[in-house]
Structure formats: C-alpha cells, structure tokens
Structure 1
Amino acid sequence: MDLLNGPWRRELARLPWGMVLIICAIAGFGLVVLYSAAGGSLNPWALKQGVRFAILLVGALALALVPPERWLGWAWPIYITLLVALVGVELAGAVRGGSQRWLDIGIMQFQPSEMMKLAIVLVLARYYQYVPKGYESRPDVLIPALALIAMPVGLVMLQPDLGTALSILFGGVVVLFLAGVRLWLFGTAAAAVAAMLPVAWSMLHDYQRKRVLIFLDPESDPRGAGYHITQSKIAIGSGGLSGKGFLNGTQSHLDYLPELHTDFAFATMAEEWGLMGGLFVIILYGLVLAWGIRTAISARSQFQRLLSLGLTATLFFYLAINMMMVMGLAPVVGIPLPLISWGGSAMMTVMILLGVVMGIARANRPRFD
C-alpha cells in the first residue's frame, strides 16, 4: 500500500508546510552558530545537532498527523506517568552537575521535568474542557487545578531546577488564565507570593541566591559569579549593528564567553551577526508564536484552544527568559534558546510541542477531498 496516496497524501498536504520551513530556517541558523562556536568545525556540536534535528523533525511531523482528540484521551496517563517519574528521580535519579534530574532507563538518561512542561498544559487543557462555563473560579474546581501544578513544581524544585520549575508554573498559570479564572484571583495570588518572598528566599540554595544577587548587581563580582552575564553583555554589545562577521567573534573564540553553545548561544550569535542577526531570529520566532495563536483562534474546541495557546506560551517563556538572561534582564536560570542552543532534551521538548500544535492546525484546516 502506497502511504503517499489516498487519505495519507491529503493529510500530509494539510500540514502547515510554510511553518515547517520557518522552523527549519531557525534550526539551520542555529547550526551555523554552533559551527562558529566550535571555531569553524562541524564537531563536536553542529553535526550531531543537525542529525538530531532531522530525526526530531520527522517525529514532529508524525505527531502532527495524530488527531487532537487522541491527546485528550492520553492527557491523564501522560501526566501521571511523568509525575511518577519525577518521584523516581528523587528516589533513584542520576546526578549530573550537582543536580538530580535524570532517570537512567538503560538506553538513555531521561529527564522527566522537560516533558512535564508540556504535560502540565495538556492535562489542564483536558481538565478545563469539561468544566462548565462560569465554574472556572469555584474553589472545588480551582483547588484541584492548582494541585496539578503544585505537585510537579514542588518535585522539580527539589532536584533543584528553578528554571524548569518556573517554566512548568508559567505554563500552568497561563492555562488557568485562558480558561477563564477570574483576574482578581491572580492579583491575590501575586500578593501572597510577594508576602512569602522572605520564606522562599530562605529556602533557596546558596548558588540560587547568588544568581539573584548577581542579576541585581553583576559588577559586584565580575570575575566570579557575575562573570557569565558580564561577558555575555560584552559579546552582545560588541556586535553592534551588523556584527563582527562570521567566525570573527572574539569573546566566544577566545573562550571569554562561558556556555557559548548552550545557554549563551544567543550572545555568540549576536557578537558575529549583530543587531541584524538578532532581529532576524526574533522575527522568525515571532512568526512561529503568531502562528500558534492563530491556530488556537481557529480551533474547534476548548481543549484545542487551551492546548495550542498554552504550548505557544510555553515556547514564548523559553524565548523570553533566555534572551532576557543573556542580556542581563533576568537571572541566569539555565533555560536554552529553542532550536539554536545545543542540547537533546530541550530540542526534543520543543519539537514535540511544535508537532502537537501542527496537529491542531492540520485538524482545523479545510478539507479538499
């Protein structure tokens, strides 16, 4: 049977191929950045990243062919499985870089917290699909939803992984807001959080406190804890309007810029491509975000709308925090730049996210049988 004929061919034609090209353009530019970060070599980052992206792109397109209603049925099993995996991380997780975030499952080390960024949006979208309109803010509805957010956030904070915990929290809160929870409740929650900041501060690890203090005054320790952000701002500022030129970055190639291929990949790019390169990347990302919002607007059900908007907001969180971080506008929390920074778990999460949104877009496109 030829899978490219008949129904399969029609379904493939309904995929948002224009958006696939934009995603490939972002990832392709990311490979250029990684090639330069390695001093003009495909190894050790660009070649492996390219192969990884090609495999994950095929996977994302396969996910895009999954009917959105399937995700409605899979939401609870996925969430519960990942929650159990997070408990497993606490009991027997692998420790890397001082953090306990990975489960060793034989063929690979799996990071459940990465997938939970998507699962929290999925399960809350499914939860509010069946909540009658006007009931969103009732305590008997809101408290279980808050518990769904609090459990994974608490487990991830124990690892400790502040950046991922904030990402899970952000995705969950966005879905609550989009579902119709009253605005004054968010104001009350914000006031409560502000009142608890001294307690939260006392619970932070020493390195996390140092990150916040360095964010407020990076010049207080320019050769120690403030080194990363100081060198990042120097790299971005020295790029000017059009950059120093491909392979001509000095902060990165002379090893002044730490983590130049992961968390600070945007700074590596901005030094060589300047403001114009930065705007090019931001515009491409903007097109992806606008597409995600349009997909949600055209969706046929509450579940699809919440899922598309929640996942799009999660992608926005990745982008905003990473770019603000490298420019000194947010503390360093270890969130990579989607499709550009080196890393397998983060890229897999983003490609799954995009695949699900593409599936919603495909399901809501007119049929031409």
Structure 2
Amino acid sequence: MYLHNKLENKGNFFRKLKNLDLILLVCIFLLGLISLATMYSTDGGQILFHTKSHFYKFVIFTIMMFFISFLNIRFWFSIGYLSYLIIVAMLIWTIHFGITASGSQRWIDLYFINIQPSELMKIVIILCLAKFFHRKRLENVNSFYSVIISLIIIFLPMSLVIIQPDLGTSLLISISGIVVLWFAGLNHKYFFYSFLISVLSLPFIISFLKPYQKIRVLTFLNPDRDPLGAGYQIIQSKIAVGSGGIFGKGFLKGTQSYLEFLPEKHTDFIFTLFSEEFGFVGSVFLLIIYAIIIYRIIKIGALSRSYFAKLFCYSFGTSMFVYIIINMSMVLGLLPIVGSPLPIMSYGGSSMLATMIGFGIVMSAKIHSEQSIA
C-alpha cells in the first residue's frame, strides 16, 4: 500500500511537471540570464554585490515559483482575502516601524531580506479581486455593493502606500486593481467617467503633491530646466539609449554607464544600460521575450476552466504589460519618473519576488487548467 501511494505521488509529480508551460519557463530563464548579464555590466564587469544578490534572489525565487506552481489553484483561491489582509497589515507595520531610505519608509527588515510590501500588493490585489468577482453574474458585478467594495479594496492599500510616500507604486497598485475590474465586466462608462474626473482634477491633485513630486512633473515637461539637478537622470538616460544606435556599443562597453554618467542604472533605469550596450536590435529582442511571456500568460488564462484563474491570468498579464510600458516610457522621457521597476530585469528583491509569485500562480492555473472552482 505504501509503495502504491509512493508510486502514485511520483506519477502525480511527473504529470504536473509535464503540464508546465515550457515556452513560458524558457522565456523566464532567458530573461533571468539577460538580467544577470546586465547586472554584471552595472558592476563594471565584475561579480560584485548587485550581481551576486540578483543571482541568489533569482535562483531562490525561481525554486519558489516551482513550489507555488505545484500547489492546487484552489489553494490560491482560498487565500485570496487572507493574503490581502496580511499585506495590508504589513503596509500598516511599514508606516510605523519600516526602514526609511531615500526619503521613503517602504521596507520591513525580515533579517534575511528587506521586503517592500507595496510590491507584493501589486500581485495580492489581483488575487483578492479575482476571488471577489469569481462566479458573480454580470448584473452583480455592476451593482452598487460590488463597485463600492472593489473600490475600498483598491483605495485602502493605495492610501497606505501614498503615506510612505510612494505615489508611483500606489498608482501601479491601482492599475492592477482596475485591470481586474475591466476583465470582470464592470460597465465601461465607469472607466470613462473616472478618467474624465481624473483629468479635470489634475490641477487640484498636483497642488497636493510633495515638492520633489512637483519637480518630477516639471522635469518631465522640460528636463533642460535643471540639466545638472532634477533633469540630470532623464537627460543622461536618453543620451545612453540614443548612443546605442542599431546594434549597440557592445557588452561591457556602455560609456554612459562605465563613466558613471548614469546614476541608479541597476534599478529602474536598467533598460537604459541594456539599450546602450545592445542597441535597437537588443531592445526589440527583449521586448519580444516580454511579449511571448505576456501572450503565454493570457493563453493559459483562456484555457483555464476556472473563472478565478482566467481573471488572474488576464489581469496579471495585462498588468505586466503596463509595468513594462511605464518603465520604458519613463526612461525614454515619455512619462514622469515614478519608480516602476522593469520585471525581473531591475535590481530589487521585492519586485522579483512579486513577479515570481505571479508566474507561479499562472503555472498553477496551467497545471490545474481542467479544474473548476465552485
């Protein structure tokens, strides 16, 4: 009997392994290798702190992704609300006891890693809202109760992140939540009216921004107003991207990076360094990898019997698309600098952890695509 159970469990493991999306896995590994090579370049062609840290986190979080993948999709449905409440509690803890860096109190010291709960909320809010709208009829989705509850779910963490202060991440959290509402079938008129109100309220909203946030907006409109101060980062970023040309300057030959003209090149501006070294062709190749990843996520959602899994995959894939567009637009000067990391590529444990959790849940949806959730 014991031997029979052991063989059955082994068979289940191999069946799950076989059901993994190999194309998605290959693209994730390829993106990880590119990120490690780029991080190696930010360290000046040496295996220093950022490269080592990025490598360890990628390996650990990839193993975690596999573990998450093998858990039943019903498990992720069951903890949708609980995970949201845990991250909200962590955000409240961060406000009172968090680590302050660069003027913001965003991190919690867990001794083995400094974690940024706001990054995890970008995934958890999708999980929570996907559970909330699971099996709701279209008329119930547009009911006053559903709209109010979903707005509370979105605006509660947003307000906690704004207090840190971190306006950029709070906006990304709201986008993640709004994407779920869109796929859940919320009437399009709500989005239109919200967009109209937001545009009309911009002067009022700007008046409440902190001084450094106002400077970012003014710098976006005219970077040359302070080329050695607030506009320095974006000016150097555009110079680096432009100097890469068609084929780039070559690996480890990015002058803007190596001559230290480009600050923060290992975090949100990692695409700038990559584009300088590998040019337009390399940038297009990177975009193709991201496009395949997003396509596979959406396809997994389409094949899932569970509406919860569909909502999560559609929303996570679309949110990833938005994060990538915002990051690349930011470093090209098409949007104000908002602190949006490039998934997997940018240095940062919390961002990579959140992305890998998202990939793991998507893989869980793929493995258990034939299961429905009551």
Q: Cα offset for 1:44? A: 2.3
Tell me the amino acid that sits aligned with residue 253 of structure 2.
N
What is the 5 A alignment of 1:197-208? 197-208=202-213
Tell me the amino acid that sits aligned with residue 214 of structure 1.
T
What is residue 318 of structure 2 aligned with on the other side?
Answer: 313
Tell me the amino acid that sits aligned with residue 78 of structure 1.
S
Tell me the amino acid that sits aligned with residue 56 of structure 1.
F
What is residue 16 of structure 1 aligned with on the other side?
Answer: 21
Contact 1:174 1:310 in 2 (8 A): yes
Q: CA RMSD in A?
A: 1.6
1:164 to 166, 169, 176: 169
1:255 to 236, 253, 260: 260
| d(CA) in 2 for partners of 1:2, 1:165 | 48
| d(CA) in 2 for partners of 1:286, 1:29 | 15
Matched, 1:47 2:31: no
What is residue 123 of structure 2 aligned with on the other side?
Answer: 118
Q: Cα offset for 1:365? A: 6.6
What is residue 234 of structure 2 aligned with on the other side?
Answer: 229
The secondary structure found in structure 2 opposite 1:135 is helix
Q: Cα offset for 1:359? A: 1.1
Contact 1:322 1:335 in 2 (8 A): yes
Tell me the amino acid that sits aligned with residue 342 of structure 2.
L
| d(CA) in 1 for partners of 2:112, 2:345 | 25
Q: Which runs of 4+ in 1 moved over 4 A?
A: 1-4
What is residue 245 of structure 1 aligned with on the other side?
Answer: 250
Tell me the amino acid that sits aligned with residue 164 of structure 1.
T
| d(CA) in 2 for partners of 1:3, 1:260 | 50
Matched, 1:347 2:356: no
* 1:42–1:365 distance in 2 versus 1, CA, 3 Å: farther
Contact 2:117 2:350 in 1 (8 A): no
Bigger drift between 97-106 and 215-224 goes to 97-106
Q: Cα offset for 1:4? A: 8.0
What is residue 33 of structure 1 aligned with on the other side?
Answer: 38
Contact 2:240 2:256 in 1 (8 A): yes
Q: Deviations over 1:26-76 (max 9, x none)?
A: 110111111122221111222321222111111101111111111111011
The secondary structure found in structure 2 opposite 1:134 is helix
Tell me the amino acid that sits aligned with residue 296 of structure 1.
G
| d(CA) in 2 for partners of 1:169, 1:110 | 20
Q: Cα offset for 1:115? A: 0.9
Tell me the amino acid that sits aligned with residue 76 of structure 1.
Y
| d(CA) in 2 for partners of 1:353, 1:140 | 28
| d(CA) in 1 for partners of 2:104, 2:317 | 28
Contact 1:240 1:274 in 2 (8 A): yes
What is residue 337 of structure 1 aligned with on the other side?
Answer: 342
* 1:248–1:104 distance in 2 versus 1, CA, 3 Å: closer
What is residue 3 of structure 2 aligned with on the other side?
Answer: none
The secondary structure found in structure 2 opposite 1:307 is helix
Contact 2:120 2:351 in 1 (8 A): no
Tell me the amino acid that sits aligned with residue 292 of structure 1.
I
Contact 2:176 2:315 in 1 (8 A): yes
The secondary structure found in structure 2 opposite 1:129 is coil
Q: Cα offset for 1:2? A: 7.2
The secondary structure found in structure 2 opposite 1:102 is strand
| d(CA) in 2 for partners of 1:331, 1:351 | 27
1:184 to 186, 189, 197: 189
- Unpaired segments of 5 or more residues in structure 1? none
Contact 1:311 1:353 in 2 (8 A): yes
Q: Cα offset for 1:245? A: 1.1
| d(CA) in 2 for partners of 1:188, 1:207 | 29
Tell me the amino acid that sits aligned with residue 251 of structure 1.
Q
1:301 to 292, 302, 306: 306
| d(CA) in 2 for partners of 1:21, 1:3 | 28
The number of residue pairs the alignment matches comes to 366
What is residue 147 of structure 1 aligned with on the other side?
Answer: 152
What is residue 363 of structure 1 aligned with on the other side?
Answer: 368
What is the 5 A alignment of 1:63-102? 63-102=68-107
The secondary structure found in structure 2 opposite 1:103 is strand
**If the length of structure 2 is used for normalisation, what is the TM-score?**
0.94
**If the length of structure 1 is used for normalisation, what is the TM-score?**
0.96
Contact 2:304 2:370 in 1 (8 A): no
Contact 1:14 1:365 in 2 (8 A): no
